[in-house]
Copies of this chain bind each other. A is one copy, B any other.
């Protein structure tokens, strides 16, 4: 009974929203705000990483390692950041993001699709925060990834409409675009991936339709803790 309650109820659950939009008044901004509101109502504790406001650094460089390098003769970002993670020598902004991820039960990524992927500022968050040793450590990847007890969800807006992103459409099935992000990043780190929340082409929709996108998202969040993750295998993407 207790277990069942814990499974369904939200109080105490921690959510991190990694948010990448320059404009608070954008639909992405509203989707983020609505998530904060709805999840707070459920007594979840919600943290937002507002990447543009933070002027988050997307470039993976030597500056990410405080102090001496393991091999200063030939810089290898993957090897150095792994080593720095173990020694506690990663730069502060990375450590802070890792703490937020570590505490979260669910991480929501809110962004506009740029070039069939996430904006560079968010890609930089992936490149720099999901360090080996912290998020994965071969063979601890995919189902055994180090973040395996967490949920993740991509929530994004597109420029193209749903028809363009259908199987016969000019942009191809939207599932194709999800593969590198959901399987290659999230699943690789062990996250259980919830179905994406996609708002197609809000710029070309009516105000009414945009409001509907917000209420649909708010509605979904009411029962988000009851959702089952997708089966993150090639079959889900390339049907």
Contacts and interface: CB of A to CB of B under 8 A. Distances in A.
A23 interface: yes
A143 to B, nearest CB: 10
Contacts of A52: 59, 61
Interface string A141-156: 0100000000000000
Given A74-B23, A115-B185, A180-B115, A58 B120 contact: yes
A127 B184 CA distance: 21
A22 B115 contact: no
Q: Which of A26, A56, A116 has the most CB of B within 10 A?
A: A116
Contact of A61 (B22, B127, B234): B22
A13 interface: no
Nearest to A159: B78
A130 B130 CA distance: 28
A127 B128 CA distance: 19
Interface in A47-78: 52, 55-56, 58-62, 73-78
A60 to B, nearest CB: 6
Interface stretch (A32-40, A92-100, A168-176, A192-200): A168-176
Interface residues of A, number: 50
A238 interface: yes
A196 to B, nearest CB: 15
A179 B184 contact: no
A184 B169 CA distance: 13
A117 B180 contact: yes
A52 to B, nearest CB: 7
A128 B180 CA distance: 21
A211 B112 CA distance: 41
Contacts of A127: 114-115, 119-120
A7 interface: no
A183 interface: yes
A62 B43 CA distance: 36
Contacts of A61: 22, 52
Nearest to A130: B115
Interface of A: 22-23, 25-26, 52, 55-56, 58-62, 73-78, 114-117, 119-121, 123-124, 126-128, 130, 142, 159, 170-173, 176-177, 179-181, 183-185, 188, 203, 234, 237-238
